[in-house]
Amino acid sequence: MVNVEEIRAYLNGILPELGMNKQRELSRLIYEISKRDGHAPSVILPAEKNLTFERAKKILLQKRYPFSFSAAPKNAFYLPKLDFDPAQRADLQEKAFSPKYIYIEESVKESGLARRAKEMFPDASFYSWDGKQKVGSEHFSRRIETLLIHQEKYDFLKPCPCSEGNAGCGYNLINLGFGCRFECEYCFLQQYQNLHAVLLPANVQDFLEKIDQAPFRKGPFDRVRIGSGEFTDSLVFDELTQYSHDLVPFFKNRPHLQFEFKTKSTCIDGLLKEGGAENVVVSWSVNAPQFIEQVEHFTPSLTQRLAAAKQVAEAGYRIGFHFDPVVPFDGWKEAYLTAAEQIAASVPREKVAWISVGLLRFSRELKKVVENRFPENWILDGEFLLEFDGKMRYPEKLRQEAYEFFVPHLQKLFPQTVVYVCMEKPHICSCSL
């Protein structure tokens, strides 16, 4: 673990006159290089006679961003203050989902979801929730201790908020739940979710009622696509929520629409009981096995996800895969190609409706959350630049090369499948669809 105080002391020794902002930028750069390469500050920035801030910064930027230093605009390097709080560290001891505190809104206390929660978690403490009471933990890692069952009143259906300037795929979302029990190091919920609890609506029928009148965007697909996995994993709580028992029959009766469950889980019992539907696509987020093991904590392995996908396909659903996020680590091409070949060998290919590919991107706020929760992470060691949509992304040239390498391979392996690039500038997406 890199010692931040050591970096600051070293800088004070070789550049004693630095103001706060300059000290912040140089410390940040030394920290990131040291974390990536394992070198001491004196190796990264050796003391030299007449060293200035400008020269030191140039040396460090070149070392930190060897691929993009000369071409990137100078304001693309994001160098926030080093700010660590050991109390924020993620708890990586896996625990079963067994909430200790369950809050139920008065209006849904007789719902099937409330009843099942009482049956499944008899040892929990139950409270009536009035919509104002503070619930949840101070600590994000303890979010699965609290379950909040509520009646959603406003947020039913919306177009996917693909960020500004991106190509968009005409996706539509129903937000059936908030929070997840997995611990993916890159998960945006770590920064986005300020209620540290699992939030599940009991009034799924109200969501479905909105669908028949909705003016949908279709995008480049043959039918309107609607999905539920934006703020949670669509299936991870399905044993409790049983949303699959409402969603599958509803969409089965509406063949002009298609619905997508997006998951990393193997919670497919509800889907299997419903018996399959051609216009319901169950898609798995997939990655190279070593990435899953090191970065997507508590999630099923690739092999387990594919075994579930095969069962679901055989039951009559179509399936999909999202290679997202792709991270170009050492040996990534071989690792991702092997994963793609494993998928092709494990599931009926003609059942694969779509495969998306998206390189890792994240908000600048998430960067500090990830380095606090996962100080030993390696996903932030890549060259991320502040980009056109305010997100941190790999340099455009690297992204383009990665998509141009991987997408054609997927198209070849899955000739009947729509392969598309997710959340990218239109010209970068041109290698897909």
Closest contact distance (angstroms) between CB of 233 and ligand SF4 is: 5
- 261, 332 Cβ separation under 8 angstroms: no
**Binding pattern for the stretch 236-275 against ligand SF4, x by CB under 6 A and - elsewhere:** ----------------------------x-----------
Work out whether 323 is an interface residue with ligand SF4 (CB under 6 A). Answer: no
Q: How far is the CB of 302 from ligand SF4 (least distance, A)?
A: 14
- Cβ atoms 244, 221 nearer than 8 A: no
Q: Rounded to an integer, what distance in angstroms lies between the CA atom of residue 252 and that of residue 254? A: 5
Q: How far apart are the first and last CA of the chain?
A: 43
Query: In the beta sheet, which residues pair with residue 378?
Result: none
Interacting residue with ligand SF4 among 189, 302, 339, 352 (CB under 6 A): 189
Q: Is 371 in the site for ligand SF4 (CB under 6 A)?
A: no
Determine which residue in the list 140, 182, 374, 394 makes contact with ligand SF4, applying CB under 6 A.
Answer: 182
CB of 185 to ligand SF4, least distance (A): 9
Examine residue 324 and tell whether it contacts ligand SF4 (CB under 6 A). no
Which lies closer to ligand SF4 via its Cβ, residue 72 or residue 307? 307
Number of residues engaging ligand SF4 in binding (CB under 6 A): 9
Instruction: Output 182 or 291, the one with its CB closest to ligand SF4.
Output: 182
Q: Are 27 and 35 in contact (CB under 8 A)?
A: no
Closer residue to ligand SF4, CB minimum distance, 187 or 224: 187
Build a one-symbol-per-residue string for 198-237: x at contacts with ligand SF4 by CB under 6 A, - elsewhere: ----------------------------------xx----
How deeply is 303 buried, as exposed, middle or buried, from its count of CB atoms within 10 A (0-12, 13-18, 19+)? Answer: exposed
Dihedral, CA atoms, 51, 52, 56, 57, nearest 10 degrees?
180
HEC assignment per residue over 91-153: CCCCCCCCCCEEEEEHHHCCCHHHHHHHHHCCCCEEEEECCCCCCCCCCHHHHHHEEEEECCC
Kind and range of the H or E element at 25? helix 20-37
117 closest CA partner among 105, 133, 135: 105
Tokens at 220, concatenated: 């480049």
Work out whether 176 is an interface residue with ligand SF4 (CB under 6 A): no
**If you count them, how many residues does the chain have?**
433
Nearest to 122 by CA among 97, 148, 100, 144: 100
Q: Exactly one of 148, 184, 211, 380 binds ligand SF4 (CB under 6 A); which one?
A: 184
Query: How far apart are CB 329 and ligand SF4 at their closest, in Å?
Result: 18
Q: Given the complex with ligand SF4, which of 31 and 291 has the nearer CB atom?
A: 291
59-to-14, 34, 145, 338, 367 alpha-carbon distances in Å? 14, 14, 47, 38, 23
Cβ nearer to ligand SF4, comparing 82 with 236: 236
- Binding to ligand SF4 by residue 35, rule CB under 6 A? no
CA torsion sign for 131, 135, 138, 144 is negative
Of 183-191, 198-206, 388-396, 418-426, the segment contacting ligand SF4 by CB under 6 A is 183-191
CB of 125 to ligand SF4, least distance (A): 25
187 near ligand SF4 (CB under 6 A):
yes
Q: In this chain, which of 26, 102, 117, 180 binds ligand SF4, going by CB under 6 A?
A: 180
Give the distance from CA 419 to its chain's centroid: 19
Residues forming the site for ligand SF4 (CB under 6 A):
180, 182-184, 187, 189, 232-233, 264
